[in-house]
Amino acid sequence: MSDLRVPDPLRAEEEVAGVTVSNPAGALGLDLVVPADFYHPHLGRLAGLRQDLRNIQFVDDRIAQAAEMGYVDITEVRRLVSASSRMFDVQVFARRIAEAARARRAMTLAADVHNRLGAGVPLDEVRELLLEAAS
């Protein structure tokens, strides 16, 4: 059994964003998340730049381009790239992000159902939201 510990969601988001900039063409797991899965919008914007960064040869050029296109300070992008502990496989981190995103979506749906029922909307009218939250 591996002793690899799954990081907290923020660290997972930082790892995936940093690896997206440092190795957009070769890292496994980058396709497991989409920018909307990220709780921190600036990290999601960086992760969303994967296709734009794939053909840029040098890391420093990718950092500069990611900072400009993602509207993130270049020192923050450098920090994320430098702090990345993985280069080729971020699947465990991406799965953690996707799991947290699913939980946030379920909580949002549950709150919406709660608010609608509290406002007097009949149960039959919110049943579809309940089914969506359950899936």
What 3 state SS string does 58-101 have?
A: CHHHHHHHHHHHHCCCHHHHHHHHHHCCCCCECHHHHHHHHHHH
Q: pLDDT confidence of 8, banded at 50, 70, 90?
A: confident
Q: How far apart are CA 42 and CA 37, in angstroms?
A: 12
For residue 96, pLDDT over 70 is answered with yes
3-state secondary structure of 26: coil
Q: What is the per-residue pLDDT for 65?
A: 97
Q: How far apart are CA 28 and CA 39, in angstroms?
A: 21
What domains does the chain contain, in order, with CATH numbers?
Answer: 10-134 (1.10.860.10)
